[in-house]
A and B are shown apart, each in its own frame.
Chain A
Amino acid sequence: MAAPESTLPELAVNRRLTVLPLQEYYTSGHRTCQGCESALVMRYLAKVAGPRTLITGTTGCMYVANTSYNSTPWALPWAHTQLGAAGSSALGTAAALEALMRKGKIPRERINVIAFCSDGGGGDMGLSAISAAIQDTRYNLLILLYDNESYANTDIQASGMTPWGAVTAFTPSGSAKRITHHRWKKNVPALLMAGHPQGRYFASASSGFGMDLMEKVRTALDVGGPTFVQTHDPCPKGWDYDPRRSHDLAVLAVECGITVLWDCLEGELRYQGITRQIVEGRLRRKPVAEYLRTQGRFAHFTDEDVDYFQSQIDEMWERWILPGVVRVTQTPFGTLPRPSTSPEAGQSDEAEVVVAGEVSRG
C-alpha cells in the first residue's frame, strides 16, 4: 500500500543540532513512580507521533499507573487493550482505518497506529500476536515494547525478559537456593527481526538516550508498514535502587554492553551511539559489576555469579556474528571478521570526546 504523505509534525532531529516541538501529548495526570523511565518513553513516543495518532496500550505499568479514570495523561486518543493484545489491537485498529477510508466512511489521511506493551505483555504473552502483526504488510503500525524487565505493576514478577539471576517476587533468593531465575533474557527485537523478513523496521533503544529513541520511533512511523521498537527502561521499584539513579543506570547498561542500541531498516543493520563505538573498537565496555552491584535485585550475587554474567556478555560481544543481535558463532562460510570489542581493548581519550559529542542524553 502506497502511504500518503506523512502528517508527522515537523521534527528537525539531528544528532548534534536538536529542534523539538514544545507541544506535549503525554502530559500530567499519570501516577507513575518517582524515577519511572517508562513514563519518559511514553512522553518521547507521543511527542514524535503527534496528534494524528491512535495509541493502544496493554495492561501493565503504563496502564495501571498511567491512566486512572478522570486523570489521563494522554492528549492523544488512547485505548486500553488486554495484556497479550498489543499486536492484535494494532491490527484491528489499522484494518478498521483502512476499511473505513477505502469505503469513504472517514476521510483518507495518514494516521499513526501505535500499540505499546510491556516486557511481560510483549515478550511473553503477546509475542504471538505481535508476530502476526509484524507479518501483515498491508498496514502501517508500530509496536513499542517498553522493557522494564519484570511484571512491575503486579509486584515485580519475573518475565521472559528479566535478566538472569535477578530477584523478583516469583524468583526470590533463599537459604537453600541462591538463584531461582534461571532464564537468560529473551532478545525480542532480534527474534522478531530474524523471523519476519517483511517487517520494515526493528530497533532496540534505551530510555537513557532520548534523541536516539525519538529518532527510532520517527523512523518507524515514517517508513510505514509493520515496525517494532523496544526500549530498555530502568525501574526503581522493580530493580531496587535509588530513583535518582534511573537515567544513569540506563546509560550504564549500554556502556557495559548489556543493552545494545541497534536498528534494522529494511535489512540494513546499524548500531548507534555508545554501542557503535564499542562495536567499532573505539570504546571499552565497562565491567557489568558496576551495573549489577548498584541494584538490589542482584544483591545476592556472589563474585562467581557476576563473573558468569560478565562471561555471557563477553561472549555476546566477542563471539556472536552480530554483537547483541544474532548469536551465531560459526557459519559454513567461516567466522565473519569483526573488530575486537573486548574490555581489554585500548581506550583512548579521543573516544571519550566522541561519546560526549555523539550522543545526546536528553
Chain B
Amino acid sequence: MTTTQGTAPTLTESGEREEIITGCEAVAQALRLLDVDVLAGYPIRPYDSVMSAVSKMIANGQMNAEFIVAESEHSQFEIGKHASMVGARSFIGSSGVGWMYGMEALVVTASLRLPVVALVGNRALDDPGAFGVEHNDALMVRDTGWLLYWVETAQEALDMTLLAYRVTEDPRVMLPCALSMDGAFLTHSQHMVRVPDAELVRRFVPPYDLGDRRFHPDNPISIAPQFNEDWVMEARRQADAAMRRSRAVIQEASREFVRVFGRGPQDPFLDPYRMEDAEYALLGMGTVGMVGKVAVDRLREQGRKVGFVRVKWFRPFPGPELRSLLRGLRGVGIVDRDYSFGSNAHGGVLYTEVAAALYPEPERPRLVPFIAGLGGREVSVDNLQEMQEIVEQVVADREQEVTCRWIGVRGPQEDPRETVEGGVR
C-alpha cells in the first residue's frame, strides 16, 4: 500500500508527471486516465494491490467508476464481462489459482469478443503455496482468444494498459487482453514512472463503442444463443481472423503511441538488446529482461557475442519478427519462467512456441530450452551466464540431444540422453 511516499511529482517537458510508483500503481494510474467505468476485484496476491490503489482513488473522488468487490474470481470476471457487454469500459485481474478459478468466465469473455482488460500479477499455481512469479497462470488462456503481453517495468505497465484498451476496443479486434506482470518483482517494486496528461490519453484511446452489439433496451438483441455445429466453427474462425488482424492494429497503435506521447519503443513485439552483431541470444519474458540485459553486458565483456531478446506480445505471437531477428544465429537459449510437463524436449511453453516459429527458417539457430525462476525464485546474472555456457556447448557438440535444463535448482542436472527415443541411458 505505498503511494508516492515523500516524492513530489515533477513535470516533464511533455507535461507528464514523474512519480515513483509500483507496477500495480502504474496500472491504476492508467485506469484513472482511461476513465474506466466498471472494475471488479477479488483478493489474491500479488495483483490485488492494483485494486487497492483503484478503490482508494474512487474513495478519494479521483476516479469516477463502479467498483465491485466480488465473492469469487468467477463472479469478478463475469461482472467485468457483462459490464463490457453493456458498453462500460471494464477492468479485472487476478493471480495464480485465482485466474484459474475464473477460467470459465475468461473463456467466454474472449468468445463473446468483449474487450475487457485484465492484469495478471503472475504467481505460481498451488500446491504447494507460493506467492512468487511463474507464468503458467496467464499462459493458461493462450489458446482462447486473449491477447497476452508481458511487461518489464512499471512505465511499460502504464503505457501498455493504455495501449491494451486501444487495441482491444478496436472494431477490427474486439478481443480481451491480459497484461502480465511478474509477481513481487514488478507488482510491488517501485520505479520512476511518467504519468501522461489525461487529454493526451483521451486523444490516444477513443471512447469505447460496441456499436450494434451494445446490450441496451434500444437494441433488443439476443447475445450468445446456442450455435451448435451449425455455426460454432464460423464463430471460431471470426475470432481467429480478429487475432490475425490484431497484429496490424498493435503495430498501428504502437506507432500512434509514439506520435501522441513522444516516447515508446520502436518494435512493438520484441525488445532486442545488443542483437546487432550477436551470434547467440538469450530470450525470455517479463522482468528477466532487466537481468538479461545486465548479463549480456557482462558476457560481452568476456568476448561472447550474445544479445538478449525480450518477447513482449505472446498472443499474437511474434513469429515473423523472431524469424528475422534470430535468423542465422548459432544458438538461442530460451528462459521459460513456466513449465509444460511432458511437452517437446520437456521445455516450457515459450520454448515450444519459439521452436515452432523458427521451424520454417532454413538457417535456424540451435535452440536450448531452460526453466528457471519458478515460484518467485530469482533468475540471477550467474544463472544467465551458466545458460549461455550451456548454449555454446550444445552448439559445439552437434550430436548432443536437446533437452530442457533446469537452472538454479537443487538436485542433479538433467541428462540430455534421457530424451533419446527408446528410453534411458
Contact = CB atoms under 8 A, between A and B. Distances in A.
A67 B225 contact: yes
B64 A82 contact: no
B201 to A, nearest CB: 16
B38 interface: yes
Nearest to B76: A88
B82 interface: yes
B197 interface: no
A99 B220 contact: no
Q: Which of B40, B74, B221 has the most CB of A within 10 A?
A: B74
Given A82-B104, A100-B37, A106-B216, A63 B226 contact: yes
Contacts of A258: none
Q: Which secondary structure characterizes the binding site on chain A?
A: mixed
Interface residues of A, number: 46
Contact of B222 (A67, A88, A100): A67
B75 A129 contact: yes
Nearest to A84: B74
Interface stretch (B85-93, B165-173, B300-308, B378-386): B85-93
A80 B72 contact: no
Contacts of B81: 92
Q: How many B residues are at the interface, by size bracket?
A: 35 or more
A324 B84 CA distance: 40
A96 B86 contact: yes
A68 B82 contact: no
B224 interface: yes
A261 to B, nearest CB: 30
A88 B71 CA distance: 9
Given A72-B225, A92-B40, A97 B108 contact: no
Interface stretch (A9-17, A50-58, A335-343): A50-58
A92 B38 contact: yes
A97 B216 CA distance: 9
Given A69-B226, A79-B223, A92-B38, A129 B78 contact: yes
B71 A129 contact: yes
A77 B219 contact: yes
Contacts of A76: 217, 220
Interface in A79-95: 79-82, 84-85, 87-89, 91-93, 95
Given A53-B217, A88-B70, A95-B83, A103 B37 contact: yes
A77 to B, nearest CB: 5
Contacts of B215: 54, 77, 79, 93
A153 to B, nearest CB: 10
B379 to A, nearest CB: 38
A95 B65 CA distance: 9
Interface of B: 35, 37-38, 40, 64-66, 68, 70-72, 74-76, 78-88, 90, 104-105, 108, 207, 215-217, 219-228, 230-231
16 contacts: A52-B217, A68-B226, A69-B226, A69-B230, A72-B225, A76-B220, A82-B108, A84-B74, A88-B75, A92-B83, A93-B85, A93-B215, A96-B90, A100-B87, A129-B75, A138-B66
Given A69-B226, A72-B225, 19 more contacts: A51-B217, A53-B217, A64-B226, A67-B225, A68-B225, A70-B225, A79-B82, A79-B224, A85-B74, A91-B68, A91-B70, A91-B82, A92-B68, A92-B80, A93-B215, A99-B65, A105-B87, A105-B207, A129-B71
